[in-house]
Chain A
C-alpha cells in the first residue's frame, strides 16, 4: 500500500453481542440491505442426501428450489457480518470516502445455496478457499534453503 494513502475504512471487529443464527449465501441478488425475518420464512430442511460427505439441505426462496451445503471456514479464519456506520459529524473526516464498519455477527460456518443444482466441491464458494493456499504460498518468505534447492535444479520447469 502506498504511504500517502489516507487511513482506509475503519473496521471494528470487536465481538458482537447478538447471535444472528445461521449465515446463508443465496444464488441471487437481493436489493435489500437490512434486517429480514429469515427464520420465519426461510426454512431449510435436511434432504437426507450426502454429496462428497456434505449434507444437502433444501429450501425455497421466492418460489425457487434451492439446494444448500454448509462449509466450515478454514482454520485461522473467521467470518463477519459487517454493518456500515454512518460517519460521525464530529470526526476529522479528511477522506470523504472512508467508511466505518462494525461487526454485527461472527460465523465459522456458512451455508451456500444453489438454484436447482446439487452442491459440489466444484461450486465457486468452496473453491474460493483455494485462494488462501495460493496467497500463502505467494507471500511466504523464501528461505535460504529453498533458494539453494531451486538453484540445484535449474531446469526443473523448462
Chain B
C-alpha cells in the first residue's frame, strides 16, 4: 500500500505518536483493514482540534472528507494494511488454523514495523485492543521494546490519533467494497451487501442471492465465518482431510466423549472422504502412498 508520507523529515527527527485501528473485523464479507496514523508528539494538541474524535458516529461523507483533509496535512503520516477476504478465509481454514486475533495482531505489528523501517521515530503507540488488553500490550512490547504501547478498549474514542487511524481504516474498507471487482464471472452478482452483519436484512438477502451449491459463495465472503456454516449445510457436502484430522484429534483428546460414543455403539469417526475419494485403504504402503485403489468393478 502506498504511504501518503514516506517518512517526512519531521517524522525521522521528532518523537512521534501513532494510533492504530481496524475496520471490518466482524462482517462476513469484504476485506479487514488495519489503518494507522502518526504525527509528532508536539502536534498532538493541534490534532485534538481536528474533530477526528468519535469517528464511528460520523457519516460516510464526513469520514471521506476528513480522510481527504488528513491526506493533505503534511504534519500527518498514515498507512493501511488491507487483508482481503480470500486471505482471511484461507488463513482461518489452513491445516494449522490461524485465528482472527492473531491475524489482527500481525497486521497491527506490520504497520508498526513498516513505520519503523521508513525511519519514523516512534515512541508511543495507541491501539484499540483485540483480546485481552494487557496480554496484547505485553506481546507488542516484547516485539518492539523501544516503544510505549497504550492498549485500550474503545481507543478510537479516547485518543484523537486512534480516531484518525479509524477514519483511515474505515474509509479504505468502504472504498474497497465500493470498487470491488468479483473474481467470479457468474451472472447476476451485485454489491448490495448491507453492513455484512447477519442482523442486516440486506446482508442476508445478498448471501441468499450469491449462494452456490458447489462453490459456496464468491470469494468476497469470509468462508470461515459462522454465518456461512448454515448456508453450507444446504449445499453440496465437501469434506477435507485437515478437518478429519481435527475430528480425530478432538476425539482422542476427549476420553469422556469417546466413552460416551462407544457406549452408543459408535466405534469411532468414520472417515467420510473415503467413501468418495480413493484412499488405497487396506492395500500395501506403495498403493496407500499413491492413493491407488483397486477397482474391480466400475459402478
User: A-side interface residues toward B, CB under 8 Å?
Assistant: 8-9, 11, 27-32, 36-37, 39-43, 60-65, 82, 84, 97, 99, 101, 115-117, 124-125, 127-128, 130-131
| A41 and B273 contact, Cβ closer than 8 Å, known pairs A30-B238, A62-B238 | no
Contact B238 A60 (CB under 8 A): no
Which chain A residue has the least Cβ–Cβ distance from B243? Answer: A28
Q: Which partner residue on chain B sits nearest A9 by CB separation? A: B298
Pairs A-B, 4 closest by C-beta atoms: A63-B223, A63-B89, A65-B90, A29-B273
What is the CA–CA distance of A60 and B219 in the complex, to the nearest angstrom? 8
**A31 close to B212 (CB less than 8 A):** no
* Given known contacts A37-B186, A62-B223, A116 and B299 CB-to-CB distance under 8 angstroms: no
What's the interface size class on B, roughly?
35 or more
Q: Are A8 and B298 in touch, CB under 8 angstroms?
A: yes
Inter-subunit contact B186/A127 (CB<8 Å):
no
Are A60 and B89 also in contact (CB < 8 A) when A9-B299, A11-B298, A30-B276 are? yes
**Stretch of B14-22, B40-48, B142-150, B289-297 contacting A (4+ beta carbons < 8 Å):** B289-297
The answer to whether A124 and B290 touch (CB under 8 A), given A11-B298, A39-B185, A97-B297, is: yes
* B93 interface residue per 8 A CB criterion: yes
Residue on A with the closest CB to B242?
A115
* Contact, CB under 8 Å: B290 / A130: yes
A32 and B184 alpha carbons, distance in the complex (Å): 20
User: Among A32, A115, A127, which residue has its beta carbon within 8 angstroms of that of B240?
Assistant: A115
Contact A29 B184 (CB under 8 A): no
**Which B residues lie at the A interface, using CB under 8 A?**
86, 89-90, 92-95, 183-186, 212-216, 218-219, 221-224, 228, 232, 236-242, 272-273, 275-277, 286-287, 289-292, 297-299
Contact B241 A30 (CB under 8 A): no
- B240 close to A27 (CB less than 8 A): yes
A5 to chain B, nearest CB (A): 10
* CB-based contact A40/B299 at 8 Å: no
A36 touches B290 (CB 8 A): no
Cα distance A65–B93 in the bound complex, in angstroms: 8
- Is A63's CB under 8 angstroms from B238's CB? no
**CB distance B290 to A63 under 8 Å?**
no
Q: What are 30 pairs between A and B in contact, CB < 8 Å? A: A8-B297, A27-B240, A28-B239, A29-B239, A29-B276, A29-B277, A30-B276, A32-B214, A36-B215, A39-B185, A40-B185, A42-B215, A43-B184, A60-B90, A63-B221, A63-B224, A64-B223, A97-B297, A97-B299, A99-B298, A99-B299, A115-B241, A116-B242, A124-B289, A124-B290, A124-B291, A125-B290, A125-B291, A128-B290, A128-B291
Which of A62, A63, A115, A124 has most B Cβ within 10 Å? A63
Task: Tell whether, in the assembled complex, residue B275 and residue A64 are in contact, meaning their CB atoms are under 8 Å apart.
Answer: no
Checking B90, B275, B292 against A63 with a beta-carbon cut-off of 8 angstroms, the contacting residue is B90
Output the least CB separation between B194 and chain A (Å). Answer: 20
Decide: A29 and B272 in contact? CB cutoff 8 A: yes
- In the bound assembly, the distance between CA atoms of A124 and B236 in angstroms comes to 25
**Which one, A36, A116, A127, contacts B214 given CB within 8 A?**
A36
CA distance A63 to B290 in the complex (A): 26
A36 to B87, CA, bound (A): 24
